[in-house]
Amino acid sequence: MPPSQQRKGAAASASNADKAATAALDTSSTTSPAPTLSTSIATDPLPTVRVNKANLAEIKTALDDIVRKHLTDQAFTPSRLHPTVHLSLGYASVILALGASAYCYFLPFEESKTVLWIAVIGYGALQSLLWAWKRWVEKGEVFRGRRRRIVKRIETDLIQIYSSTSVVGPIESVLSVSPNSRPSSPISATTPIASPLTSPSSLSPSSSGSQLSSVANSSSGPDPRGPSYTVRLTLSTTSNNGKSLIHKARVVSGKHVGEVIDEDGGVEEGEVARWISGLLDDAGLVDVEDEGLKQE
């Protein structure tokens, strides 16, 4: 067969194949259902973030990032207090070290000893201050932020989340609700909470962090099912520029790390997001779709 006929035959075959593929796509588009939001781990996309399952610090960092991302998606504006302090102390330490190095570069060592001593002491003091800030002020805080909603007035939701990891199993979930909660809130002081959360009256609104710590440390010894990840969430709703408290709740809950990280170290972002959403609902957070959102 001449090459020209071969090319015509190949072109006809390709055209027929294209038509068949187009018909197949049209058929599949009319018969396949519309995509829906994932509601279970079975329908979640494959994990894109992987961690070392033997490194609790790496696991905590990965899960904390998902929590921050989820709250940002819920229209919360994160506080810049901690990053500002970190950057300020860090840059001050670097500038002090570079200044002392430049000074010593142009002057003999004997003449620059005083400046070097001042730089070394100052650098140590700044780094110690940064460590103390993380240890006693930040204290494992993952997220602090707020968002404003317009109802008949402007209401502000303030949220603060701490997290920790432990070799013991997850603690029993605990919920505490302020008696000043509004009657229309999804949770009030007289409404029982479904399992596994306990009744709001089991923990007074004035509970201190030491009481929550005692609950967290009620289990002793490593859990055979692996380490756990614990979240402590505080939600406050105020109005009148923070002068009137409408609703306040605290939730403490934990999960086995194996429930949100697969055997290969893949982090199940959807499962973590659903868990945090459930905790926010238990704390009485009002959805953005239910009431208007005010841009800050």
Of residues 237, 238, 289, 279, the one with CA closest to residue 255: 279
Of residues 124, 69, 65, 135, the one with CA closest to residue 100: 124
**pLDDT above 50: residue 124:** yes
Instruction: Name the average pLDDT for the chain.
Output: 78
Q: What is the pLDDT of residue 34?
A: 32
Rounded to 5 degrees, what are φ and ψ at 253?
Answer: -150, 155
Q: What does the DSSP assignment read for 156-224?
A: EEEEEEEEEEESSPPPPPEEEE-TT--TTSSS-TTS---TTSPPGGGS-TT--HHHHHHHHTSS-S--T
Q: How far apart are CA 5 and CA 51, in angstroms?
A: 58
**40 or 53: which leads in pLDDT:** 53
CB 66 within 8 Å of CB 267: yes
Q: How far apart are CA 62 and CA 244, in angstroms?
A: 36
Strands 154-166 and 141-150: antiparallel
Most confident of 1-5, 65-69, 105-109, 168-172: 65-69
Rounded to 5 degrees, what are φ and ψ at 247?
Answer: -155, 140
Q: How far is CA 55 from CA 61, 135, 225, in A?
A: 10, 20, 16
Kindly state the percentage of the chain with pLDDT values over 70. 70
Q: How far is CA 290 from CA 70, 73, 150, 285, in A?
A: 18, 16, 10, 11
Q: How far apart are CA 243 and CA 204, in angstroms?
A: 22
**pLDDT above 80: residue 115:** yes
Q: Lowest mean pLDDT: which of 20-24, 43-47, 97-101, 204-208? A: 204-208
Predicted model pTM: 0.72
What is the mean predicted confidence (pLDDT) over 268-284?
94
What is the mean predicted confidence (pLDDT) over 123-139?
95
Q: What is the pLDDT of residue 40?
A: 78
**pLDDT above 50: residue 254:** yes
**pLDDT above 90: residue 274:** yes
Domain ranges of the chain: 56-78+141-287, 81-138
Q: Residues in the chain, how many?
A: 296
Residue pLDDT, tens place only, 61-112: 999 999 999 999 999 999 999 999 999 999 999 999 999 999 999 999 888 9
Q: How far apart are CA 98 and CA 122, in angstroms?
A: 12
Q: How confident is the model at residue 16 (pLDDT cuts 50, 70, 90)?
A: low
The enclosing H or E element of 88 equals: helix 81-106
